[in-house]
Amino acid sequence: MSSRTVRVLVSVLAGAGLMLAAPAALPAVANASPAAVAEVSADGCYTWSGTLSEGSSGEAVRQLQIRVAGYPGSGSQLAIDGQFGPATKAAVQRFQSAYGLGADGVAGPATFGKIYELQDDDCSPVNFEYGELNNCNSDWSGGKVSAATARANALVTMWKLQAMRHAMGDRPITVNGGFRSVTCNSNVGGAANSRHLYGHAADLGAGSQGFCALALAARNHGFTEILGPGYPGHDDHTHVAGGDGRFWSAPSCGM
C-alpha cells in the first residue's frame, strides 16, 4: 500500500471529528515544537480520524463497513448502510480478533492502521485487484445495475475474499472471473438472474485449498450464494456472491 506521512498539531487532531481529506497535503505548521506535533498516516484511498463506535453514522462508517464486510459471522451479511449498529460492532470485533487487536468493537487508530496496511490506493485490498473481478469489459457497464454500482459491489466482494484468505492461512485465492455484462453472461451461458450481472459474484479456482475448502470457508465471510462441486455446472470452480437471499449448494462438499 502506498501511503504518506503528514504532520499535524495534536491539538487539532484531538478536536477533529471529521474525516481527514486524503491524499491532499496539509499545510506546514510554523514554529511548532516537537511536543506539539504528531505524525499521522494519511492513506491514499481513505483516511479516518477519531474513533467510530456503536451509534456512529455517515460515510466514515460506510467505508469501515466495506472493509469489515468479510466478518459478519456465519451465514450473515453485513449491511453497508453507514449505520454503526450491533452487527457492525460485532464485525469490527471479529476483524480485530483476526488480526490480534483488542476486540472492543470500537474502530480507532489500531483498527484503521491495520486497514491501511491491507488496502491499496484504489481502495481494493492488497491481495485482490479490480481486474480480477472483471474480465468482461473495462468500464463495468452493461450489467443489471449501473457501472458504478457494479464496481462498488465488486469492491465489497474483494474485501470479503480478503477476510476469507486471511482465515485460510493467507494462502492465495485464485479469482477466475466476476462481473459480467448481459452480453458476456449470455456468451458463457450464465443464468438470466446471475449475480455476476450485479458485480456481487466471483468464481474461484481450486488453488492450493481445493474447491470444497473454499466453499465451506465462504459461509463465514458474508457470501449469501455459494455454489460448488456437486451443484450442476460447478465441479470446476467455486462460485461465491453477495446479494439478497441465501442459497448454498455444494453437495460433494457436504453442503
Whether 10 and 32 have beta carbons less than 8 Å apart is answered as no
Q: Which three cell numbers stand for residue 114?
A: 491495520
In whole angstroms, what is the distance from residue 50 CA to residue 180 CA?
39
In whole angstroms, what is the distance from residue 3 CA to residue 46 CA?
10
SS3 (DSSP) at 164: helix
Give the number of C-alpha atoms closer than 13 A to the C-alpha of residue 29, restricted to the C-beta side. 15
Q: What sign does the CA torsion over 102, 103, 104, 109 have?
A: positive
Whether 129 and 139 have beta carbons less than 8 Å apart is answered as no
Strand partners, 204: 175, 238
Q: Which residue blocks in the chain are alpha helix, DSSP H? A: 10-15, 59-67, 86-98, 109-118, 147-167, 182-187, 211-218
- Put the strands of the sheet holding 201-204 in their side by side order: 175-177, 201-204, 238-241, 225-227, 247-249
Active site residue 196: no
Spot the catalytic one: 166, 196, 200, 234. Answer: 234
In whole angstroms, what is the distance from residue 42 CA to residue 176 CA?
33
Phi/psi for 241 (5° steps) reads -160, 155
The catalytic residues are 234
